[in-house]
Amino acid sequence: MANARKADYLKETVQHIDIAKHNVVPLVDAMGRMAFQARNLSRAAKIYDQMLADKDCAVILCLAGSLFSAGLKRIVYDLLQNNMIDVIVSTGANIVDQDFFEALGFKHYIGTTAVDDRQLRAARVDRIYDTFIDEDELGVCDKTISDIASTLPSRPHSSREFLAEMGKYLVKRAKAKDSVILAAHEKGVPIFVPAFSDCSAGFGILHHQWHNPDSHLSIDSAKDFVELTKIKLACKDTGLLMIGGGVPKNFAQDIVVAAEMIDREPVMHKYAVQVTVADERDGALSGSTLKEACSWGKVDVTYEQMVFSEATLALPLIAGYAYHKGSWKARPARRLSSVLDEEVLAGARR
Amino acid sequence: MANARKADYLKETVQHIDIAKHNVVPLVDAMGRMAFQARNLSRAAKIYDQMLADKDCAVILCLAGSLFSAGLKRIVYDLLQNNMIDVIVSTGANIVDQDFFEALGFKHYIGTTAVDDRQLRAARVDRIYDTFIDEDELGVCDKTISDIASTLPSRPHSSREFLAEMGKYLVKRAKAKDSVILAAHEKGVPIFVPAFSDCSAGFGILHHQWHNPDSHLSIDSAKDFVELTKIKLACKDTGLLMIGGGVPKNFAQDIVVAAEMIDREPVMHKYAVQVTVADERDGALSGSTLKEACSWGKVDVTYEQMVFSEATLALPLIAGYAYHKGSWKARPARRLSSVLDEEVLAGARR
Amino acid sequence: MANARKADYLKETVQHIDIAKHNVVPLVDAMGRMAFQARNLSRAAKIYDQMLADKDCAVILCLAGSLFSAGLKRIVYDLLQNNMIDVIVSTGANIVDQDFFEALGFKHYIGTTAVDDRQLRAARVDRIYDTFIDEDELGVCDKTISDIASTLPSRPHSSREFLAEMGKYLVKRAKAKDSVILAAHEKGVPIFVPAFSDCSAGFGILHHQWHNPDSHLSIDSAKDFVELTKIKLACKDTGLLMIGGGVPKNFAQDIVVAAEMIDREPVMHKYAVQVTVADERDGALSGSTLKEACSWGKVDVTYEQMVFSEATLALPLIAGYAYHKGSWKARPARRLSSVLDEEVLAGARR
Amino acid sequence: MANARKADYLKETVQHIDIAKHNVVPLVDAMGRMAFQARNLSRAAKIYDQMLADKDCAVILCLAGSLFSAGLKRIVYDLLQNNMIDVIVSTGANIVDQDFFEALGFKHYIGTTAVDDRQLRAARVDRIYDTFIDEDELGVCDKTISDIASTLPSRPHSSREFLAEMGKYLVKRAKAKDSVILAAHEKGVPIFVPAFSDCSAGFGILHHQWHNPDSHLSIDSAKDFVELTKIKLACKDTGLLMIGGGVPKNFAQDIVVAAEMIDREPVMHKYAVQVTVADERDGALSGSTLKEACSWGKVDVTYEQMVFSEATLALPLIAGYAYHKGSWKARPARRLSSVLDEEVLAGARR
């Protein structure tokens, strides 16, 4: 009965949008001659294209919010395949609960907000606004993380290291081809999830630690910060493409100050774009202006743009614009993971 | 010197987006398989297309916010030219300060929010977020309204009647071809501005009344309500395409209740779509859900959709979708002004 | 059965908050040493108190949103009784559907957002977010307006004139003592509702005009603008206390420009405070900053403050602060209605 | 010169509000009979009071946003002193950059948003909306964290363990008495910062790891999740008092699912209150409704309440209400740290 009811909710799947199919360049250019958020979005798209044309600039993509469940995963996959991003900093939901989950063969379903959540609870269906998820499939995702953890050495790992192992795991086992974790693994793009326990990975590693109390791996978020700072130091210039705020925005901005703390003159992020529905009125970082970030010495104000929009509307236009402009075609894969893998090798030798 | 400084601010003009040039149908269809506001927007676009395919449905366009100064005027002009809307209910800013203003040959300018408003004040430049306006040109607009008022009989006019006179005025004098007022005049589409004094028209008619204290025309907002209710009664079904909230949203919804008060079984608006950044948390009408409007008997809930987005991003996609789907091609001009003009003639005979 | 069901929804009434009972001065002072909206609110409260201490300043209260149904009516009543406001500019919902409605003996009811609006529809219960209203009682309100209209001469009235008649009507017939319309009538405080047809008054006057097609009164919104401008000209300085945005905010700001158009050097509003949940991102007036209004020459920037808060939280603190500070005690009733009544008399003689 | 300029910005300090001085019970009770957010806030305050009166309920306080820099720190300090909270889950900014920072003798300063951030940058002043901070003092904070790290064993620590060490550090060295970290240490209240590297602590531990590449402590965020789950398992019932969303909201909600994964029937959080300016439109967790959390099996819907307000306005009223109602007076200190300290001891013995 409960299964029957679950099937009633899980019928039509969310489909990821394919930016290659929609040449939005004329539309976004036209928006640049309008006003308000259309103009802001257009300028943001042009700044992103500028990052890609700048030979010295590494692009850091920051992701917060439930973006992949909403059909935005394939955009990030395409950005990876086309060397349009060099680093990802994300919340765990996107990368583990949603990308890894789909790589295991599961799907997100078109739902509705007009529903009694107690009935969903009874049917073991989880809701994200208008999207439904099979709670038992999420449990499989959690358990797979636990299994991977149990194959790894009992030492502190950065989230990036653990995600690299998840990438390796998927090489042979991925049931969906468009996995961001897998593509990042193959393209040498490091993924950081600074609050790695705050998602399905947290459940999996909790399971691992609980059942292996005396010897287990741990997730060292400080190591993430060290590693991302090393990447900043290894790049001449950097640009931020931020979808949502939260920990990824703050974390990626902070590496400028971290680099300054370590050993050299600070080099602010040269470019910065943020898409968000938040605003500055509550003083929280998620909606704070990029101008405010300049007071902290994190972001230069010359090429910065806030776009006040929900991401499913804005990201297809911004990413699609840069894709069809094609500045990325002359851009090599930076494979920044290699910077850190060498460190790891060195560390292993110690 | 002041003039020189004004010229510094007023350099590049806002350009209206042309939906005919951007076939967004595949994009909006793809958004319909995503989630959040992309899916909401896609459903809204499809509901609007459905209105146009419904032979019994008259479409009422509601406009609030500074939409025309932001480059959205030509969309409304194109909707008029292609029989895609049958009635307009708007704030005065869009129709008078912005459409009539541009019809007189003036322009809106690309500005910035990063400016000292006291300096703009000194330069006689007015600001709307990131858009600049020549204050003296606005003064010409005000004065032209006053001149038109002085040619009209000293009796109460609905805003629709006054706007029809503005349309006639533009037939010979319009310096820009893409005027909404002029096109509406030519297509027999009535325009209502229920708070007509709350814009440049207010300044013009104040000037007229002030200098003609003993005999002057007046603007009867109750007559607007009577006239719009007559239109509701003359149509089998109606659909609302609402950009922003405010008075136009409330006014257009209320005519269902008004029709019920007058003489017949209420016929709720069969379709309703709203694009807004407001939400319901403050209990104000602008962000109230269309489901809430159902409790008032104003809007049916079968085909209703809220889209939480700023209008410059959403309207090009919604209107562009309906334009390129082409359901409007089989749709006649309803020329609903004629219903009211006959009334006026009848009134004149009394 | 339907009546029985209505009774199920309409049980507990909304109670208006009484600022006299809550001395919030220490709380609001403490908020002034904090940050974000607490500090903004504290500064707004102090600016309002400053307006009241300024012997040359007339205070214009602007109201938009469903404030009176939410328990804020008595605050405005108390401000009137204590000479703390000199003019009111409002949406019709507050003044007619809510204040006049309650003066007729009806009430607003504590409801919930977790309800099926189709069931409310069937029960003839109207919903405003979490508040319920008896739809049939609203019909009585509409009809009463129609009755009042039928007693008045067949000429254009400003909304202020009509509201003055509603005040007279209530002198003998009010069933609730705390009516804003009645108190304003008694204190000589003019009330303007520039979009007067956009509320229960619209229904009433539509009824009046429909059934008296050959001879009826009309509502001249231009006359409202003329009258409010005369008040501006009659006052040395003015301050705006704005709750919400919409037409009242724009209308009250515009009178500075109107005064300039008529006959003299412009005198910007010296003080301005706005409480709103809107922000500036969509370029609409409701959330536009008061600094932006300075570019238009409407508001001076020295004593202006935006407070980003829902009104039921902010107004009890701002009004309560000013009430308990007591600067109003030395303040005379300005009775600004008399300025206009003399005009009316003069007009009648013409 | 740079110092001179810095002094120009850093003049007046933010003062923390003292809820003991403001008996807001009558005000909040009155708000409960109003509508919109006033009624929501009142219900939230009552639910919090109910948590405190429930002998079986442990209270988890979740904090996101820049709350302590805004004058809300002392509220949390008072809640600790009066056994009104049993666990804290927070972003690092509040706990390290702001609480620990002030415990070291530094202050936050009253600033303004109307400032050129490049000039602040030059003066080494950091801005949070309208608040200014001495960047060099923040550097001292970072460095102190590094010093503490260097005294600790080279093993994975939960953030809670590290914060307990920071508490010990402050016992003798605190220059301000009202430290949340110190009071939590003394009251046995565990503090979790799941994204511990995403704040000043990240800078300090990066410094520690960088200069001690072969042997250093690490921060195991999975251990945080294990520990918080143990606390959930040790409590019969739990309630969430959430200020803001972000990682703390998600992390604290997830422990219900984690507990279910480990060993027993899930026990949803019995009570849940959230104060936020976010809404659900973007599908992100920060603004997702507590009803949505019910579909995930995390929060029961009987006693849940969202309050849409900025925290500086709402928290003084909610916490002040519960403080002056006094249900906490019969409430013992739960000292939940002891549950985990015993684990640590046990772990040390292994």
pLDDT single digits (tens) D23-61? 999 999 999 999 999 999 999 999 999 999 999 999 999
Q: Which residues of chain B does D282 touch, with a Cβ-Cβ cutoff of 8 Å?
A: 36-37
Residue numbers in chain A where pLDDT is lower than 50: 1-2, 347-350
- Cα(C350)–Cα(D91) distance, integer angstroms: 72
Percent of chain C past pLDDT 90, that is, above it, reads 90
Q: Which residues of chain B does D35 touch, with a Cβ-Cβ cutoff of 8 Å?
A: 283
Q: pLDDT confidence of B266, banded at 50, 70, 90? A: confident
Which chain A residue has the Cα nearest residue C38?
A282
Asked if D71 and C35 come within 8 Å (Cβ–Cβ), the reply is: yes
> What φ, ψ does residue C279 adopt, rounded to 5°?
-130, 180
Q: How far is C123 from chain A (nearest CA, A)?
A: 21
pLDDT for res D263: 75
Q: pLDDT confidence of D350, banded at 50, 70, 90? A: very low
Is it the case that residue C68 has pLDDT exceeding 70?
yes
DSSP alpha helices (H): ranges in D188-310?
200-211, 221-234, 246-262, 290-295
Which chain C residue has the Cα nearest residue B69?
C283
Q: Which residues of chain D does B35 touch, with a Cβ-Cβ cutoff of 8 Å?
A: 283
Asked if D282 and B37 come within 8 Å (Cβ–Cβ), the reply is: yes
Half-sphere exposure of residue D205: CA atoms within 13 angstroms, side-chain side:
33
Interface test with C, best of D18, D25, D34, D67 (most C CBs within 10 A): D34
Q: pLDDT confidence of D248, banded at 50, 70, 90? A: very high
Mean of pLDDT over chain C: 94
Asked if C34 and D41 come within 8 Å (Cβ–Cβ), the reply is: no
pLDDT for res C153: 97
Active site residue B223: no
CA B346 and chain centroid, separation: 28
- Cα(D166)–Cα(D145) distance, integer angstroms: 8
Q: Are B86 and B330 in contact (CB under 8 A)?
A: no
Active site members of D: 298
Asked if C279 and A282 come within 8 Å (Cβ–Cβ), the reply is: no
Comparing CB atoms, the residue among C36, C282, C283 nearest residue A282 is: C36
Could you report the per-residue pLDDT of C183-201, keeping only the tens digit for each? 999 999 999 999 999 999 9
Asked if B283 and D308 come within 8 Å (Cβ–Cβ), the reply is: no
Interface test with A, best of B243, B307, B312, B323 (most A CBs within 10 A): B312
E strand residue ranges, chain B: 57-63, 87-90, 109-110, 125-128, 131-134, 156-157, 191-192, 218-219, 237-243, 269-276, 299-308
Asked if C36 and A283 come within 8 Å (Cβ–Cβ), the reply is: yes
Asked if A281 and C279 come within 8 Å (Cβ–Cβ), the reply is: yes
Could you report the per-residue pLDDT of D142-177, keeping only the tens digit for each? 999 999 999 999 999 999 999 999 999 999 999 998
Partners of A303 in the β-ladder: A271
Is it the case that residue C84 has pLDDT exceeding 70?
yes
pLDDT for res A2: 46
Q: Which residues of chain D does B281 touch, with a Cβ-Cβ cutoff of 8 Å?
A: 36-37, 279, 308
Active site members of A: 298
Asked if B283 and D36 come within 8 Å (Cβ–Cβ), the reply is: yes
* Interface B:C, Cβ pairs < 8 A: 236
Comparing CB atoms, the residue among B127, B156, B291 nearest residue C156 is: B156
This prediction has a pTM of 0.96
Radius of gyration of chain C, Cα coordinates, nearest whole angstrom = 20
Distances (CA, A) of A192 to A158, A180, A189, A342, C206: 8, 12, 10, 17, 64
Comparing CB atoms, the residue among D65, D128, D221 nearest residue A195 is: D221
Which chain A residue has the Cα nearest residue B27?
A22
- Cα(C305)–Cα(C42) distance, integer angstroms: 10
Is it the case that residue D204 has pLDDT exceeding 60?
yes
With an 8 Å Cβ cutoff, the interface of chain C facing chain A consists of 35-37, 279, 281-283, 308
Is it the case that residue C4 has pLDDT exceeding 80?
no
- List the one residue out of D219, D99, D101 whose CA is nearest residue D152: D219
Q: Which residue has the tokens 């939005």?
A: A24
Q: Which residues of chain C does D27 touch, with a Cβ-Cβ cutoff of 8 Å?
A: 22, 24, 316
Comparing CB atoms, the residue among D206, D210, D223 nearest residue A218 is: D223
Asked if B279 and D281 come within 8 Å (Cβ–Cβ), the reply is: yes
Q: Which residues of chain B does C350 touch, with a Cβ-Cβ cutoff of 8 Å?
A: 213-214
pLDDT for res B350: 40
In this prediction, residues D190-213 reach a mean pLDDT of 96
Q: Which residues of chain C does B278 touch, with a Cβ-Cβ cutoff of 8 Å?
A: 277-278
In this prediction, residues D265-284 reach a mean pLDDT of 91
Is it the case that residue D2 has pLDDT exceeding 50?
no
- Cα(D85)–Cα(B188) distance, integer angstroms: 67
Q: pLDDT confidence of C164, banded at 50, 70, 90? A: very high
E strand residue ranges, C140-201: 156-157, 191-192
Neighbours of chain D (3+ CB pairs under 8 A): A, B, C
Asked if C196 and B221 come within 8 Å (Cβ–Cβ), the reply is: yes
Neighbours of chain B (3+ CB pairs under 8 A): A, C, D
Percent of chain B past pLDDT 70, that is, above it, reads 96
pLDDT for res C12: 98
Is it the case that residue D346 has pLDDT exceeding 90?
no
Is it the case that residue C208 has pLDDT exceeding 80?
yes
- Beta-carbon contacts of residue C256 (< 8 Å; ≥ 6 apart): C232, C266, C267, C268, C269, C297, C298, C299
- List the one residue out of A225, A339, A151, A258 whose CA is nearest residue D216: A225
Comparing CB atoms, the residue among A70, A207, A297 nearest residue D121 is: A297
Amino acid at site D149: A
Asked if D37 and B281 come within 8 Å (Cβ–Cβ), the reply is: yes
pLDDT for res B235: 96
Q: Are D127 and D111 in contact (CB under 8 A)?
A: yes
Comparing CB atoms, the residue among C18, C69, C313 nearest residue D37 is: C313
Mean of pLDDT over chain D: 94
Active-site pick, B46, B230, B298, B325: B298
Asked if B37 and A312 come within 8 Å (Cβ–Cβ), the reply is: yes
In this prediction, residues B141-170 reach a mean pLDDT of 98
pLDDT for res B262: 87
Distances (CA, A) of B52 to A157, C201, D169: 58, 33, 71
In this prediction, residues C272-288 reach a mean pLDDT of 91
Asked if D35 and C314 come within 8 Å (Cβ–Cβ), the reply is: no
pLDDT for res A344: 53
Comparing CB atoms, the residue among A156, A210, A226 nearest residue D206 is: A226
B141-152 burial string, b = 16+ CB within 10 Å, else e? Answer: bbebbbebbeee
- Crossing angle of helices A221-234 and A159-173, in 10° steps, is 90
Comparing CB atoms, the residue among A214, A219, A281 nearest residue D310 is: A281
Neighbours of chain C (3+ CB pairs under 8 A): A, B, D
Asked if B131 and C283 come within 8 Å (Cβ–Cβ), the reply is: yes
- Beta-carbon contacts of residue B324 (< 8 Å; ≥ 6 apart): B19, B23, B24, B25
For residue B213, how many other CB atoms are within 10 A of its CB?
Answer: 12
In this prediction, residues C105-123 reach a mean pLDDT of 95
ipTM of the complex: 0.95
Radius of gyration of chain D, Cα coordinates, nearest whole angstrom = 20
- Cα(B81)–Cα(B19) distance, integer angstroms: 13
Asked if B244 and C220 come within 8 Å (Cβ–Cβ), the reply is: no
What six digits make up the tokens of D170?
């402050």
Q: pLDDT confidence of C5, banded at 50, 70, 90? A: confident
Interface test with D, best of C16, C23, C37 (most D CBs within 10 A): C37
Active-site pick, C168, C298, C325, C329: C298
Report the relative pairing of strands A269-276 and A237-243 from DSSP bridges: parallel
Q: How far is D283 from chain B (nearest CA, A)?
A: 6
Q: How far is C24 from chain D (nearest CA, A)?
A: 8
- List the one residue out of D86, D93, D92, D17 whose CA is nearest residue D48: D86
Could you report the per-residue pLDDT of D90-110, keeping only the tens digit for each? 999 999 999 999 999 999 999
In this prediction, residues C242-271 reach a mean pLDDT of 92
- Cα(D30)–Cα(C282) distance, integer angstroms: 35
